């Protein structure tokens, strides 16, 4: 494990946002530790998690910033939006108010992050079907109208948690490959270095050399 | 100066605390392992207590320290930082919106003049009659300052102040010298008709007496105010800032009061309008622009980067977090982020706090990092833990600075043990290179837009930095080379591909022949077949005859044959030349 944490090609910064009590920290814990944390205290400001995943043969380290949902911490947590490559916006399917506040969270995200940031909508607690307060179709429509990826998940059962984090990473990686992640890079046609300012970093020299070598053939 | 020394002294003392706390963890474990050393541990605890008590008072002193990063700017901070302000002005120039910032700067200069005039007025009143002879000279000086400052930058303001002070000293010795100074100044200021008029007015005023001198500086200030109005605020202004009619009328009223005294705050509403416009419409774009990237590069390459610069900038913090992850110290920064967010929230919402809620937040952090059953213990001493407990659950409720001491300890620990390594780490260079790449890409894309000299200088500086950085990484250097002209590509390929070197020569057919494997010269002409057969015969003969005598004969025969061939070749060349 300690060896693995140095063996990756990219680092993606994620933020997790949404109302308090929707399960942001439990989702993070389920993704990083693969288990449910029932007695989860509320987050003060920002908490932090990492995990290394693989996308298209590339090892990618996710640096995940889990923000506090309480309104009183909102001004503080806004400062961590900048430079995020991915934003996971979470609501609770059993509490309609958390769904109704998504527009406000989305506005913050659009305002404070780069246009190329991938935004993934997650409806958490899908294991509590009997208490459902927001239909899948309604949330899906909201996601489609705003250009968001969407999935319903359960931090308790682990359903779709992995998928949400991985799909976000795949889309970010695709943006890098397409050159859409950084407008400057796209405009100048620079593709030799996969790192982008403020979001991702190439941390393995060996990997970097191999990448450059591959480009020689082209 | 004394305060500065005192402050630095305290900082030196604070540095001791992390060491003690760091060594305290093994002490604690020793206590658990070996109960018979109670006396020795108690002695150490006494030392720790003394140091921490000292540290506690010192950290309170260090409240004067900054809680912001030079990499993260608010609009007010940009106005206060000359370097950042220069980039902001360039940015607004590129957007053709420089009138707002120009107006702001002119108003700041105007306010500086008003403040100086007020101070001078007080001095004259205080000195009484003895100042009357000096009044005309100083009045003229003020006029000069007002006019000059309005057209130049703050740097000239400083020069003007120095000139004024020097002139004041010079004017004190003798009345005759004062008269000479007046005469000289009159001559110097004859460049401008306006100034000539001012001098004539002063002469007239002087004859009438000194009672009306106090109005003259006001007249010139009024003129300066009118100039600012005509340039930026009036409907037909050259650099119109498009403020509302309401603000315009307000300014007119303040400039043209019945008492003919300029209101020092006559432009306050204009400045508030400008600040609001810049903050809402342009400042965020500036923070995302390559101009701000250049400012950040200046800070990061200045050699004076501080821990605060990194901790309070979210992008730099991202890299620092990754660095500490690699050093297995991530939990320290996690605690710092959580606790500083807790404190920041308290500061921001001081008027709306729910004490029970605040205490609940504090208990969450305590349980996670400080308690004996902590999920993520940091290794603080019992002394620190007890101090935190007291702050959270004291008689007066939660002390809103309850985490201040551990926060400062963590900051000093990170700065002492990890910050320097971070500044030399690969991650830091990656961060810097990405900022530089962003600027480089933007420069190459919008090269035509950078017309001003300062911008060109900045570009050159950025390029120089890039070159310096890239010298460390050969692979990057190679790719950077590829971005240059095609000729450079050819040269690069030649350096790495020996075949190209060989192939290039093959393309040139300047030689008349070649040297064969045996070292003999072979011209590319008709004798080739004959020579080849001779060569073969010679080889065959040599294989079967080993006597020295025979070898000598062969050599003589070969020389004769060579002579014959040369003769034929020369004849052939002579025949072919005419054709």
Is B321 at the interface with chain A, CB within 8 A? yes
For residue A21, name the pLDDT band (cuts at 50, 70, 90). very high
- The pLDDT of B91-120, averaged and rounded, is 83
Tokens of A87: 């934003």
CB contact under 8 A, B338 and A187: no
Q: Which residue has the higher pLDDT, A141 or B351?
A: A141
* Interval B324-333: pLDDT, tens: 988 888 888 8
Q: Is the pLDDT of residue B159 over 60?
A: no
* Interval A9-18: pLDDT, tens: 788 989 999 9
Using an 8 Å CB-CB cutoff, list chain A residues near B340.
45
For an interface test with B, give the residue of A33, A87, A188, A191 to mutate (most B CBs within 10 A).
A188
In the sheet that holds A149-152, the strands lie side by side as A46-55, A58-67, A10-18, A86-92, A118-124, A149-152
Q: Is residue A121 part of a domain?
A: yes
CB contact under 8 A, B341 and A83: no
Least confident of B134-143, B400-409, B503-512: B134-143
A58-67 vs A46-55, strand pairing mode: antiparallel
Among all residues of chain B, which has the CA nearest to that of A62?
B322
Residue B193's contacts (CB-CB under 8 Å, 6 or more residues apart) are none
Q: What is the CATH number of domain B75-122+217-288?
A: 1.10.167.10
For residue B469, name the pLDDT band (cuts at 50, 70, 90). very low
A contact set with B (CB within 8 A) = 2, 5-6, 11, 13, 41-42, 44-48, 50, 63, 68, 72-73, 75-77, 79-83, 182, 184-185, 187-188, 190, 192-193, 195-198, 201-203, 205, 208-209, 212, 215
* Interval A63-109: pLDDT, tens: 898 999 988 888 888 788 868 899 999 999 999 999 999 999 999 99
* Interval B225-243: pLDDT, tens: 877 887 888 877 877 887 8
For an interface test with B, give the residue of A72, A190, A214 to mutate (most B CBs within 10 A).
A72
CB contact under 8 A, A187 and B344: no
Q: How far is CA B89 from CA B95, B270, B436, in A?
A: 10, 18, 20
ipTM: 0.76
Distance from A44 to chain B by nearest Cα, in Å? 6
Q: Is residue A1 part of a domain?
A: no
Highest mean pLDDT among A164-173, B321-330, B524-533: A164-173
Among all residues of chain A, which has the CA nearest to that of B496?
A216
Query: Which single residue is written with the structure tokens 């680092």?
Result: A11
Among all residues of chain A, which has the CA nearest to that of B348?
A75
Q: Is residue A178 part of a domain?
A: yes
Range of the domain at A172: 7-217
Give buried/exposed letters for B144-183 (b at 16+ CB in 10 A, else e): bbbbebbeeeeebbeebeeebeebeeebeeeeeebeebbe
Q: SS3 of A118, please? A: strand
Please tell me the total count of domains within chain A: 1
Radius of gyration of chain A (CA): 18
Distance from A46 to chain B by nearest Cα, in Å? 6
Rounded to 5 degrees, what angle do the CA atoms B60, B65, B66 make? 140
Q: Is residue A86 part of a domain?
A: yes
Q: Which residue has the higher pLDDT, B13 or B444?
A: B444
Among all residues of chain B, which has the CA nearest to that of A78?
B314
Tokens of B155: 């740097």
Highest mean pLDDT among A18-27, B35-44, B507-516: A18-27
Q: Is B410 exposed, middle or buried (0-12, 13-18, 19+ CB in 10 A)?
A: buried
| CATH code (residue A22) | 3.40.50.300
CA atoms within 13 Å, Cβ hemisphere of B187: 5
* Interval B250-302: pLDDT, tens: 787 777 655 555 667 778 878 888 888 888 778 878 887 878 888 888 888 88
Q: How far is CA B175 from CA A1, A15, B139, B208, in A?
A: 87, 75, 17, 20
Q: Is residue A2 part of a domain?
A: no
- The pLDDT of A182-189, averaged and rounded, is 31
How crowded is residue B330: how many other Cβ atoms within 10 Å of its Cβ? 18
Least confident of A154-158, A190-194, B51-55: A190-194
- Rounded distance between C-alpha atoms, residue B192 and residue B509, angstroms: 77
Question: What is chain A's mean pLDDT, rounded?
Answer: 79
Using an 8 Å CB-CB cutoff, list chain B residues near A208.
475
Is B460 at the interface with chain A, CB within 8 A? no
Least confident of A26-35, A99-108, B290-299, B349-358: B349-358
- Rounded distance between C-alpha atoms, residue B528 and residue B525, angstroms: 6
Q: Is residue A37 part of a domain?
A: yes
Dihedral sign of CA atoms B460, B466, B471, B474 in order: negative
Tokens of A33: 């530790």
Q: Does domain B305-443 have CATH number 1.10.460.10?
A: no
pLDDT at position B450: 37
CB contact under 8 A, A193 and B431: no
Among all residues of chain B, which has the CA nearest to that of A39?
B364
Q: B160 and B149 in contact (C-beta within 8 Å)? A: yes
- Rounded distance between C-alpha atoms, residue B416 and residue B22, angstroms: 12
């Amino acid at each position: 494990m300690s060896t693995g944490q140095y063996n990756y090609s990219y680092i993606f910064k994620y933020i997790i946002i949404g109302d308090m009590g929707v399960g942001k920290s439990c989702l993070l814990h389920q993704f990083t530790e693969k288990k449910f944390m029932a007695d989860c205290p509320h987050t003060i400001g920002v908490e932090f998690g990492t995990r290394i995943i693989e996308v298209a043969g590339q090892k990618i380290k996710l640096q995940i910033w889990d923000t506090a949902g309480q309104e009183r911490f909102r001004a503080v947590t806004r400062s961590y939006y900048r430079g995020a490559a991915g934003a996971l916006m979470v609501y609770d399917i059993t509490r309609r108010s958390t769904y109704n506040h998504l527009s406000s969270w989305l506005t913050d995200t659009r305002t404070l992050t780069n246009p190329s940031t991938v935004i993934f909508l997650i409806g958490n607690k899908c294991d509590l079907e009997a208490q459902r307060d927001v239909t899948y179709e309604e949330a899906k429509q909201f996601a489609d109208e705003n250009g968001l990826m969407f999935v319903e998940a359960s931090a308790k059962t682990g359903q779709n948690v992995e998928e949400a984090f991985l799909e976000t990473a795949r889309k970010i990686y695709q943006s890098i490959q397409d050159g859409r992640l950084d407008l400057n890079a796209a405009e100048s046609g620079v593709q030799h270095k996969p790192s982008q300012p403020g979001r991702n970093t190439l941390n393995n020299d060996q990997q970097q050399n191999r990448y450059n070598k591959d480009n020689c053939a082209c | 100066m004394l305060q500065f020394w005192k402050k630095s002294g305290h900082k030196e003392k604070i540095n001791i605390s992390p060491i003690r706390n760091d060594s305290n963890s093994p002490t604690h474990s020793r206590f658990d392992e070996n109960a018979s050393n109670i006396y020795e541990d108690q002695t150490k605890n006494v030392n720790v207590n003394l140091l921490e008590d000292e540290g506690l008072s010192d950290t309170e002193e260090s409240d004067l320290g900054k809680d912001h990063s030079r990499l993260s700017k608010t609009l007010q901070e940009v106005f206060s930082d000359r370097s950042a302000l220069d980039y902001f002005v360039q940015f607004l120039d590129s957007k053709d919106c420089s009138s707002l910032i120009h107006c702001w700067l002119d108003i700041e200069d105007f306010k500086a003049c008003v403040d100086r005039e007020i101070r001078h007025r007080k001095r004259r009143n205080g000195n009484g009659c003895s100042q009357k002879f000096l009044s005309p000279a100083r009045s003229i000086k003020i006029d000069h300052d007002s006019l000059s400052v309005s057209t130049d930058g703050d740097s000239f303001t400083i020069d003007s102040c120095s000139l004024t002070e020097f002139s004041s000293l010079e004017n004190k010795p003798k009345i005759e010298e004062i008269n000479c100074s007046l005469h000289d100044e009159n001559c110097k200021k004859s460049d401008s008709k306006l100034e000539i008029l001012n001098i004539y007015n002063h002469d007239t005023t002087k004859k009438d007496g000194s009672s009306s001198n106090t109005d003259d500086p006001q007249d010139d200030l009024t003129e300066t105010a009118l100039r600012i109005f005509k340039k930026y605020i009036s409907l037909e202004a050259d650099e119109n800032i498009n403020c509302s009619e309401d603000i315009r009328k307000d300014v007119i009223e303040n400039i043209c009061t019945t008492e003919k005294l300029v209101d020092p705050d006559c432009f306050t509403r204009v400045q508030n309008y400008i600040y609001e416009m810049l903050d809402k419409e342009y400042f965020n774009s500036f923070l995302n622009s390559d101009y701000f990237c250049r400012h950040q590069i200046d800070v990061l390459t200045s050699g004076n980067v501080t821990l605060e610069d990194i901790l309070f900038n979210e992008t730099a913090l991202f890299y620092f977090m990754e660095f500490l992850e690699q050093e297995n110290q991530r939990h320290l920064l996690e605690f710092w982020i959580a606790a500083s967010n807790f404190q920041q929230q308290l500061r921001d919402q001081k008027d709306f706090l729910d004490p029970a809620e605040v205490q609940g937040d504090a208990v969450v952090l305590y349980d996670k990092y400080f308690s004996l059953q902590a999920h993520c213990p940091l290794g603080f001493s019992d002394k620190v833990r007890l101090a935190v407990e007291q702050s959270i659950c004291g008689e007066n409720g939660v002390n809103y600075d309850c985490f201040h001491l551990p926060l400062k300890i963590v900051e000093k620990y990170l700065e002492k043990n990890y910050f320097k390594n971070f500044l030399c780490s690969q991650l830091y260079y990656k961060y810097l290179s990405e900022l530089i790449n962003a600027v480089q890409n933007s420069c190459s894309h919008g090269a035509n837009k950078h017309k001003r000299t300062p911008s060109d200088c900045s570009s050159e500086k950025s390029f120089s930095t890039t070159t310096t950085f890239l010298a460390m990484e050969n692979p990057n250097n190679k790719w950077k080379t590829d971005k240059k002209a095609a000729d450079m590509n050819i040269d690069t390929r030649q350096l790495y591909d020996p075949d190209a070197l060989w192939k290039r020569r093959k393309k040139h057919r300047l030689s008349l022949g070649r040297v064969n494997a045996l070292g003999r010269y072979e011209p590319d002409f008709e004798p080739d077949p004959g020579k080849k057969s001779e060569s073969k015969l010679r080889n065959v003969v040599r294989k079967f005859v080993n006597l020295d005598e025979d070898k000598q004969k062969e050599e003589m025969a070969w020389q004769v044959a060579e002579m014959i061939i040369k003769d034929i070749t020369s004849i052939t060349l002579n025949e072919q030349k005419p054709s």
